[in-house]
Amino acid sequence: MRKVLLTLLAIVAGITALSLVGPLFGLAISAAIVFASIHFYTKTESTFLKVVWVIIGIFAVVSTISNIPGLVALVALAGGYWIYKKWDHKDAKVFTSSKSNDPFTNFENQWNDLQK
């Protein structure tokens, strides 16, 4: 039952990610332009160029906001990665060890573990 649920979630995440590839690329390009405009704004010394980079940054922020469905694609991709990691996840066996200073007690515990 767990594999069926994970398969259905993977199909939904894959369809969602594939249907939102365009906004995802638009979001990436817009975000890159925003970061570049911030970088060049901090590096320039001219007031005119600072104004130009602010205007470019504002246009890029508006473009980034219009590509918000790209965030849904990112969530779908993250969900697909989570499903991939959980596919063959098995519960780890918990080992309990009794810490004792008596060497004979530890030997008996290990011997019993070997006999199982």
Closest by CA to 79, choosing from 2, 15, 1, 4, is 15
pTM of the full predicted structure? 0.63
Q: Give me the sign of the Cα torsion angle 8, 89, 116, 99.
A: negative
d(Cα 95, Cα 92) in Å, to the nearest integer?
9
Q: Where are the domains of the chain?
A: 2-115
User: What is the per-residue pLDDT for 78?
Assistant: 92
Which residues of the chain, if any, have pLDDT below 70? 89-104
